[in-house]
């Protein structure tokens, strides 16, 4: 553990930003992170906050706002050495998160992100930049929130990954699970929207783009480098209730030579066929262990904050 004092700048103070603030504040002593502090936050709605007190989340809930400040100037002027990027997802250009991450890395700051845009679309450029600057660019929260996924490989030194397969989007898995009861796609989607599992514009989830961004990120981490733009992607709009009952799941798959996202009928004894509701699961096939599995939540305020905390601990260990 490094003994140097570290300051954290948070970009975007919505669900994940507030979840991370809460979790970090509660767990920092337990984790031996007394020398780490959240020194600054910048957000479009709440403004620029410096040296926030423990009560910040309650204060903003009662309407308190702070002076606005441009995000790029904040990154440039900040003395924080760790930047947490928790702003909007954009799977077309990765902006504004891409510029946020790039600016921070160029200044020699570590970056933790839960935003899939920059790692899915600009992985090679940003990891190369981080390597040149001698800092970390970490992204656990982009795949299955805090549930162990690609980071399981840190526990398997030398293991060669043959393939990765998984259910990586809780919204579509929830819809398919509820279609098993006979509901058609539109009814199941509407229900998922009413429960807050699906967004008003469900395209990223139901058309498979969110899942595709995750398998792209895994593929880059494993050095297979399948590009998001060249992935074969099929979503769940055309799945029938009968197919859902026969255990058709939205499967993301990658190996060295291919990667895709598509609804796939699973055998009854396939472990992934038993993954229901908003749960996510991943199967990693390695040369030393055969197939290993991890299952758990793939989203949520504290669950995603856990991923960012996992990355922070990794930075603290050097």
Catalytic annotation present for 214: yes
Closest approach of ligand NAP to the CB of residue 288, in Å: 30
User: Among 148, 175, 169, 257, which residue's Cα sits nearest to residue 213?
Assistant: 169
Q: Binding residue for ligand NAP (CB under 6 A) from 115, 169, 173, 264? A: 115
Report the residue from 169, 172, 211, 304 that binds ligand NAP according to the rule CB under 6 A.
304
Question: Which residues inside 24-63 make contact with ligand NAP, applying CB under 6 A?
Answer: 42-45
Q: Total binding residues for ligand NAP by CB under 6 A?
A: 23
Helices 170-179 and 185-194 pack at an angle, to 10 degrees, of 130
Residue 158 three-state SS: coil
Q: How far apart are CA 54 and CA 22, in angstroms?
A: 8
Q: Is 71 in the site for ligand NAP (CB under 6 A)?
A: yes
**Residue 76-95 contact track with ligand NAP, rule CB under 6 A, x = bound:** ----------xxxx------
Helix or strand (DSSP H, E) at 205: helix 203-206
Nearest approach, Cβ of residue 316 and ligand NAP (Å): 21
Per-position DSSP letters for 88-128, written without gaps between them: ---TTT-TTHHHHHHHHHHTT-EEEE--SHHHHHHHHHHHH
Q: How far is the CB of 131 from ligand NAP (least distance, A)?
A: 24
| Residues 6+ positions from 226 with CB-CB distance below 8 Å | 215, 216, 219, 220, 254, 258, 259
189: phi then psi, degrees, rounded to nearest 5:
-65, -45
CA–CA gap between residue 188 and residue 245 (Å, rounded): 14
Residue 65 CA to its chain's centroid (Å): 27
Q: Does 169 bind ligand NAP (CB under 6 A)?
A: no
Instruction: Check binding of 261 to ligand NAP (CB under 6 A).
Output: no
Nearest to ligand NAP of 52, 241 (CB atom): 52
Chosen residue from 8, 9, 10, 16 binding ligand NAP by CB under 6 A: 16
Which CB sits closer to ligand NAP, 192 or 239? 192
- Looking at the Cβ atoms of 146 and 241, the one nearer to ligand NAP is 146
Q: In angstroms, what is the minimal distance from the CB of 21 to ligand NAP? A: 11
Which residue of this chain has its Cβ atom nearest to ligand NAP in the complex? 14
Number of DSSP helices (H) and strands (E) in the chain, helices first: 11, 12
Q: List binders of ligand NAP among 263-292 (CB under 6 A).
A: none
The active-site residue, picked from 214, 247, 256, 291, is 214
CB closer to ligand NAP out of 45 and 76? 45
Residue 44 or 156 having the CB closest to ligand NAP: 44
Q: What is the DSSP letter of 160?
A: P
The DSSP code for 301 is H
For residues 216 and 252, what is the distance between their CA atoms, to the nearest angstrom?
9
Name the residue nearer to ligand NAP (CB basis): 12 or 235: 12
What DSSP element (H or E) covers 284? strand 279-286
**Is residue 211 a contact residue for ligand NAP (CB under 6 A)?**
no
Catalytic residues: 214
Instruction: List contacts with ligand NAP (CB under 6 A).
Output: 12-17, 42-45, 71, 86-89, 96, 114-115, 141, 145, 299-300, 304
């Amino acid at each position: 553990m490094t003994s140097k004092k570290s300051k954290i700048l948070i970009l975007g103070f919505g669900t994940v930003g507030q979840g991370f603030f809460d979790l970090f504040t509660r767990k920092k002593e337990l984790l031996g992170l007394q020398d780490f502090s959240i020194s600054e936050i910048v957000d479009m709605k709440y403004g620029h906050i410096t040296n926030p007190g423990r009560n910040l989340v309650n204060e903003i809930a009662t309407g308190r706002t702070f002076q606005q400040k441009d995000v790029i100037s904040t990154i440039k002027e900040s003395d924080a050495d760790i930047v947490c990027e928790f702003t909007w997802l954009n799977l077309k250009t990765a902006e504004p998160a891409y510029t946020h991450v790039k600016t921070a890395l160029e200044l020699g700051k570590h970056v933790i992100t839960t935003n899939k845009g920059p790692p899915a679309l600009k992985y090679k450029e940003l990891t190369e930049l981080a390597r040149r600057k001698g800092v970390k660019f970490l992204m656990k929260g982009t795949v299955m929130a805090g549930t162990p996924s690609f980071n399981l490989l840190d526990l398997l030194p030398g293991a060669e990954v043959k393939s990765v397969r998984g259910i990586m989007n809780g919204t579509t898995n929830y819809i398919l699970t509820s279609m098993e009861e006979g509901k058609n796609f539109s009814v199941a989607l509407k229900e998922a929207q009413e429960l807050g599992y699906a967004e008003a514009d469900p395209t990223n989830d139901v058309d498979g783009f969110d899942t595709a961004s995750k398998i792209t990120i895994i593929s880059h981490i494993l050095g297979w480098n399948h590009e998001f733009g060249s992935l074969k992607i099929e979503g769940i709009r055309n799945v029938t209730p009968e197919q859902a009952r026969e255990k058709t799941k939205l499967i993301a798959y990658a190996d060295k030579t291919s990667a895709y996202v598509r609804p796939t009928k699973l055998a009854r004894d396939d472990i992934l066929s038993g993954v229901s509701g908003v749960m996510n699961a991943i199967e990693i096939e390695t040369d030393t262990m055969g197939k290993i599995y991890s299952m758990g939540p793939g989203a949520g305020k504290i669950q995603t904050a856990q991923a960012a905390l996992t990355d922070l601990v990794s930075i603290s260990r050097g």
